[in-house]
Amino acid sequence: MSPATLYPLAGAALFAVGVYGLLARRHLLHKVIAANFLGSGVFLILIGLGKRATGLTPDPVPQAMVLTGIVVTVALTALALALIKRYYSATGLTTFEPLDESEDER
Q: Could you read off the pLDDT tens digit of each residue along the chain, which spans 106 residues?
A: 777 788 899 999 999 999 999 999 999 999 999 999 999 999 999 888 887 666 777 778 888 999 999 999 999 999 999 999 999 998 888 887 766 666 555 5
Which fold would CATH assign to domain 3-104? Answer: Helix Hairpins (1.10.287)
Specify the pLDDT at position 101: 61
Specify the pLDDT at position 99: 63
Task: Give the closest residue to 81 by CA, choosing from 18, 50, 36, 47.
Answer: 36
Radius of gyration in angstroms for the set of CA atoms belonging to the chain, rounded to a whole number: 18
Three-state DSSP at 51 gives helix
Specify the pLDDT at position 76: 95
Specify the pLDDT at position 42: 94
CB neighbour list of residue 14: distance below 8 Å, 6 or more residues apart: 37, 38, 40, 41, 44
Q: What are the CB-based long-range contacts (under 8 Å, 24+) for 21-28?
A: 26/95, 26/96, 27/94, 27/95, 28/84, 28/87, 28/94, 28/95, 28/96
DSSP 58: P
| pTM of full prediction above 0.95 | no
Is residue 96 within 8 Å of 26, Cβ to Cβ?
A: yes
